[in-house]
Amino acid sequence: MRASANAKYSIDRITNGIDLLVVKKSSHSFPPHNHEDSYTLSLMVEGESYCFCGNDKEKIVKSKEVVLINPGQVHSGKPLNNMEISYITLFIKKKLISELFGTRTPVFNKVVISSHNLYKKITDISELILGNNHSVDDVKDFVKYIFSQNYIDFKEEKALEGQRIISAKDLLTSNLNTKISLTEISELLGINRSHFIRIFKKRTGLTPHAYRNQKRIEFAKDLLKQNKPIIDIAYKTGFSDQSHLNRRFKQFTGFTPNQFH
């Protein structure tokens, strides 16, 4: 993200169900990543961007269009022709979805859509959250609207991942401030290193290294929400120093830890 870009990250502290990111004038490109614990809706306010989502062909997101990303869906983005873009992104927590829909799991069946009603719903709830003027009902009504449209399918919750992948994720997520080699993890899982890397990427869309770095950034966000000093966060999340944390944080999120509120 260019230094001139304006980014603001806001947390819905009333329901703790939605995080909001508002970005103006950014040319930042995102590496492949996912959000395991949230549904992501990203509204292009100004400009155009490439969107890459898993095995889907790349798509171009135009002004006033919305990108829909499921939890765990690997995606990346790059502004078209390096132009500066402005966008609003909402991260709707899976736990809020579970409260509202139980074991019926909603799944976005489209990646990019154009809808005036959705555009207005996103801008309206964003203004309320930014001003801290929203209520529990405002958030729940918004979420119910989002997940009642024809771009949603529902599936009964099932165990979708093999036990080895679950165990690998646990190992990669634990003790983020220490080093652990892929050889060590492979031995603990009882498989060879190359096979582990291959099946992990096939199942998650990310390499083990990229997954662990992403988890470091997510942990850093949690610590920032607790107003922990950035230098302490760098140590607790396994980065060599504050500068290293800043670079990785910006790479994955598009903004710096100091812009995270």
Give the lowest-confidence range in 100-109, 119-128, 209-218.
100-109
Give the lowest-confidence range in 70-84, 132-146, 150-164, 232-246.
150-164
Contact 55, 18 (CB under 8 A): no
Domain end, chosen from 156, 183, 203, is at 156
pLDDT at 260: 78
CATH of the domain at 211: 1.10.10.60
Helix 163-173 crosses helix 193-204 at what angle (to 10 degrees)?
100
Q: Is residue 1 part of a domain?
A: no
Helix (H) or strand (E) holding 162: none
Q: Is the pLDDT of residue 116 over 90?
A: yes
pLDDT at 164: 85
Q: Do 152 and 168 belong to one domain? A: no
What token pair was written down for 213?
């770095």
Domain end, chosen from 90, 122, 156, is at 156
Q: Do 135 and 12 belong to one domain? A: yes
pTM of the predicted protein model: 0.78
pLDDT at 48: 97
What's the domain count of the chain?
2
Q: What is the pLDDT of residues 157-200, one digit of tens each?
A: 544 457 788 899 999 998 899 988 999 999 888 888 998 999 99
Q: Do 141 and 211 belong to one domain? A: no
Q: Is residue 93 part of a domain?
A: yes
Which structural domain, as residue segments, surrounds residue 252?
Answer: 163-259
Q: Do 104 and 148 belong to one domain? A: yes
CATH of the domain at 27: 2.60.120.810
Q: Do 39 and 119 belong to one domain? A: yes
Domain end, chosen from 130, 156, 182, is at 156
Q: Is residue 84 part of a domain?
A: yes
pLDDT at 156: 64
Q: Do 140 and 238 belong to one domain? A: no
pLDDT at 1: 39
Q: Is residue 253 part of a domain?
A: yes
At 122, the pLDDT band (50, 70, 90 cuts) reads very high
Pairwise CA distance, residues 194 & 178, whole Å: 22
Q: Is residue 244 part of a domain?
A: yes
Q: Do 15 and 115 belong to one domain? A: yes
What token pair was written down for 90?
């909402």
Q: Do 78 and 185 belong to one domain? A: no
Q: What is the pLDDT of residues 103-112, one digit of tens each?
A: 788 999 999 9
Residue 27 identity (one-letter amino acid):
S
Alpha carbon of 19 to those of 63, 75, 242: distances in Å? 22, 18, 24
Q: State the burial class of residue 238 (Cβ atoms within 10 Å of its Cβ: 0-12, 13-18, 19+).
A: buried
Q: Is residue 122 part of a domain?
A: yes
Residues contacting 227, CB < 8 A, separation 6+: none
What is the dihedral angle through the alpha carbons of 23, 28, 30, 36, rounded to the nearest 10 degrees?
A: -20
Q: Do 62 and 187 belong to one domain? A: no
Q: Do 141 and 84 belong to one domain? A: yes
Q: Is residue 182 part of a domain?
A: yes
pLDDT at 155: 79
Q: Do 91 and 192 belong to one domain? A: no
Q: Do 75 and 102 belong to one domain? A: yes
Q: Is residue 142 part of a domain?
A: yes
Q: What is the pLDDT of residues 8-28, one digit of tens each?
A: 898 888 888 999 999 999 999
